[in-house]
Amino acid sequence: MTKLGVPLLSVTERDWRPRYIQLAEALRDQIDRGQLPPGSPLRSETDLADSYAMSRTSVRQAIKLLRDWGLVTSEQGRGTFVRKTRHRVRRENMLRYQREKDAVLLDEAERRAAGGTEQDTGLSTGDLEFHAEYQTVPADADLAARFQVPEGTQLLERRYWTTPRAEDAPLSMSRSYLLHEIAAKNPDLLDQSREPWPGGTQHQLSTVGIELDRIVDEVTARPPRPREAEILRVEHGVSVVVLWKTSTDLDGRVVEVAEVIFPGDRTTMVYDVKLNRWDK
Amino acid sequence: MTKLGVPLLSVTERDWRPRYIQLAEALRDQIDRGQLPPGSPLRSETDLADSYAMSRTSVRQAIKLLRDWGLVTSEQGRGTFVRKTRHRVRRENMLRYQREKDAVLLDEAERRAAGGTEQDTGLSTGDLEFHAEYQTVPADADLAARFQVPEGTQLLERRYWTTPRAEDAPLSMSRSYLLHEIAAKNPDLLDQSREPWPGGTQHQLSTVGIELDRIVDEVTARPPRPREAEILRVEHGVSVVVLWKTSTDLDGRVVEVAEVIFPGDRTTMVYDVKLNRWDK
DNA sequence: GAGTGGTCTAGACCACTGT
DNA sequence: CAGTGGTCTAGACCACTCC
C-alpha cells in the first residue's frame, strides 16, 4: 500500500520494459477488468507520479499511450477519464446506393421525404449544419487515373461537411468529383447554393441523362489529418475510415469519384454479399 | 540562416500555438512539398533543438506528432525518416467469397492450386509462416448476439496469424468462430494440425453438409492493440482495418463469425456494387 | 484558490547504429 | 568510436475547471 492507501500495481524495476509502458499496461488491465469503468477518472498525474515514484513526465508518457490506444481522454483542468464506447452508425452501402437510385424516379417531395435529404456522402440534414463548397480543379494523377482521363482534365470539385448540433450525430466529410464537361450540361449542377440537393448525386446526374450501373467502394483506414480531427471531432488516438467511391454509368464511363472520411470509432461499413447456389 | 546554413522555418513566439505544434507543421509542410522526399532523414533531434532554440523534449513532442500522423518513422541509433508509402493490397471480398464457394466443388489438388492455399482469413501460405491455434470457448455477449445463440454456447475458436518471411507480404491476423456442435460432426475440423486446410472455411463447412448463402462484412478502423502492432509489424501511427465477417447458410443460420485485422496502410477493401436497371 | 492537464526546460544515462 | 533516438528526472509556468 502507498501512503495514499491505494494498492500499487506491479510496476517494478526488475521488469525489463520501460516503466511508462508498465504503468500504461497496468492501467489498461484495470480498465479491461472493469475496475475503472467507462467515464471514471484516472488518478491525477501528480498523484500517480508520487505513488509510483516516477516523474510526472513518465506518467504523462504512459497516459499518452492509453490515449493512443483509444482507452482514455484527457480534459484540461478536469482530469483523464476512461472513454465511453461511442454509439456506432451502421452504413449499409449496397442498400443505400440502390435506394438512392430508386429514389431518382420519385418526385421531389418524395425524394426529400424518403432519404432524399441524404447526400451521397452519407449526411442527413436533420440536426446537422450542412456545408457545401464547389470549385473547378484540374485532375491530378490519382484522380485522372480513377476517371481514366488525361491529367489536367477539368473537374468539378464539391466539398461537403457538417458540424453536429446534437450529440452523437453521424458525421462524415467528403470531396466529390464530377467531370466538369458533364456537369456543365445542367447549370444548376455548378451552383453550390442549390445544395443540399434532394436525392443526392444520383439524382443530380440523372438531370444530365446519366443512369448509374455500378459503384465500386474502396475502404481503407489511417490516422486523421489535423483538419479531419477538427471537423469530425475525433479525439487523439482514433482512426478514420476512408471510402473511395467510384460510380460508373451504363456505358462503363466513370462519372463520379468521391472520397468520404468517417470517424473510425463511430462508423461501421456493412456489405451484404449474396452467393450463387451450387446446384444452379 | 542558422549556424548550420539551413533556413529557419517560421516557428515564432508570436504564434499563439504551442511551439512543438508549429515545428511539427513546418516539417509537415516540407514533407508535403517534397522538400523532404520519402526515405530522407530529418535533421537530428539535438540539431533541431539547437536550431530552433527549443529543448530536445519539445522537439521530440513535435516528432511524436509527425509519427502519429503517419508521416515519419524513427529508428533508434539511425535517425527519423520520411515514410515511404507502402504497397497496398486490394482485397476484393465479393469476388473472393464467391470464388471460394465455387472452389469447394473442385477436387483437393485443384483447390490447393486455385486459391486453395487461401485461408478464409485472406492469408496465402507462400512465403509466410502460418500459425493456427484451436480452442473451445463459451460465447460472450457479443458473439452470442452475432450467432443468435444463448450466451455461453460452446464455440470452436480458431486463431490464425502469419509472420512474414519476405518483405511487403500481405498480412492479417484473425479469430474465427464455429458452433462447436456443428464442427464436432467432423472430427477433422477440431484438429488444428490439419491447417492450413485447402479451400478454407467454406470447404471445411461443406464436409458437414453446409452451403453458404450470404456473407455480411462489417468494416471498421481503430488504432492497433500492442499485440496486433507486433504481429502485423505496423508502426506507431498506423491504423488497423477490422473486418467482422458473418456467414449464413441456406437455412439462414449463422455458421461462422470471424474477426480479421489488417494493417491500414497496406490494405484496401474493395466492394463492387451492381445496381438494378431503372427500366426493369 | 486549489487542483487538473498542457507546455517547456536543461540536464542525464542508456541502447543502438554506423564507421 | 561518435552520433542517433529512447527513457527519465526535477523542476517551472500556464490555461482551464470547479467550488
CA quadruple B179, B185, B190, B196: dihedral positive or negative? Answer: negative
Distances, alpha carbon A214 to alpha carbons A75, A115, A249, A250, A256, in Å: 46, 20, 7, 8, 11
Q: Is the peptide bond before B196 cis (omega within 30 degrees of 0)?
A: yes
Q: Where are the beta strands (DSSP E) in A32-118?
A: 72-75, 79-82, 89-92
How far apart (Å, rounded) are the C-alpha atoms in residues A78 and A73? 11
Please name the residues between 75 and 114 in chain A that touch chain B, using a CB distance below 8 Å.
Answer: 88, 90, 93-94, 97-98, 101, 104-105
CA quadruple B113, B118, B119, B120: dihedral positive or negative? Answer: negative
In terms of residues, how long is chain A? 280
B81 has which bridge partners?
B41, B73
In this model, does residue A112 exceed pLDDT 80? no
How far apart (Å, rounded) are the C-alpha atoms in residues B153 and B168? 39
Strands lying side by side in the sheet with A154-164: A128-138, A154-164, A173-179, A254-263, A240-249, A212-222, B267-274, B89-92
In this complex, which of B69, B101, B268 lies closest to A218 when CB atoms are compared?
B268
CA quadruple B15, B19, B24, B27: dihedral positive or negative? Answer: positive
Distances, alpha carbon A274 to alpha carbons B4, B115, B208, B267, in Å: 63, 20, 21, 23
Structure confidence at residue A251 (pLDDT)? 94
> What residues of chain A lie within 8 A of the CB of B278, using their CB?
101, 104-105, 211
CA quadruple A137, A138, A144, A149: dihedral positive or negative? Answer: positive
Optimal mutation site among B68, B101, B219, B254, interface A, most CBs of chain A within 10 A: B219
What is the grid cell recorded at B175? 479469430
How far apart (Å, rounded) are the C-alpha atoms in residues A218 and B268? 6
How far apart (Å, rounded) are the C-alpha atoms in residues B72 and B28? 10
CB contact under 8 A, A215 and B270: no
How far apart (Å, rounded) are the C-alpha atoms in residues A158 and A149? 19
In this model, does residue A153 exceed pLDDT 80? yes
pLDDT in tens, A19-49: 898 899 889 989 988 889 998 999 999 999 9
What 3-state DSSP class applies to A209? coil
Contact A91/A126 with Cβ under 8 angstroms? no
How far apart (Å, rounded) are the C-alpha atoms in residues B264 and B59? 27
**On chain C, which bases lie within 7 A of the protein's CB atoms?**
3-12, 15-18
Contact B206/B198 with Cβ under 8 angstroms? no
How far apart (Å, rounded) are the C-alpha atoms in residues A183 and B24? 40
State phi, psi for A162 to the nearest 5 degrees.
-135, 155
CA quadruple A259, A261, A264, A268: dihedral positive or negative? Answer: negative
Residue pointed to by grid coordinates 470549385? A135
In terms of residues, how long is chain B? 280
Give the burial class of B208: count Cβ atoms within 10 A of its Cβ; 0-12 exposed, 13-18 middle, 19 or more buried: middle
Per-residue pLDDT tens listing for chain B (280 residues):
333 334 445 555 456 778 898 889 889 989 988 889 998 999 999 998 988 888 999 999 999 989 888 889 888 889 999 988 777 788 898 988 998 888 888 877 777 665 544 444 444 455 556 788 999 999 999 999 999 999 999 999 999 887 665 544 557 889 999 999 999 999 999 999 888 788 889 999 999 999 999 999 999 998 887 778 777 777 766 788 999 999 999 999 999 999 999 988 888 999 998 998 887 5
> What residues of chain A lie within 8 A of the CB of B217, using their CB?
270-273
CA atoms within 13 A on the CB side of A232: 29
Contact B185/B200 with Cβ under 8 angstroms? no
Give the burial class of B166: count Cβ atoms within 10 A of its Cβ; 0-12 exposed, 13-18 middle, 19 or more buried: exposed
Q: Where are the beta strands (DSSP E) in A27-127?
A: 72-75, 79-82, 89-92
pLDDT in tens, A51-97: 888 899 999 999 998 988 888 988 888 999 998 877 778 889 898 89
How far apart (Å, rounded) are the C-alpha atoms in residues A220 and B270? 9
Structure confidence at residue A181 (pLDDT)? 95
In this model, does residue A195 exceed pLDDT 90? no
Question: Nearest CA to the C1' of D9 belongs to which residue?
Answer: A55
Closest CA to B207 of B108, B112, B114: B108
CA A261 to chain centre: 4
Quick one: closest CA in A to B250, which residue? A277
Please name the residues between 145 and 184 in chain B that touch chain A, using a CB distance below 8 Å.
Answer: none
Closest CA to B182 of B122, B259, B100, B251: B251
What 3-state DSSP class applies to A216? strand
Question: Nearest CA to the C1' of C18 belongs to which residue?
Answer: B78
Q: Is A70 left (phi over 0), alpha (psi -120 to 50) or beta?
A: left
Helix axes B56-68, B45-52, angle to 10 degrees: 120
Distances, alpha carbon B14 to alpha carbons B8, B9, B24, in Å: 15, 14, 17
Structure confidence at residue B259 (pLDDT)? 96
State whether residue A73 sits within 8 Å of chain B by CB.
no
DSSP code of residue B115: I
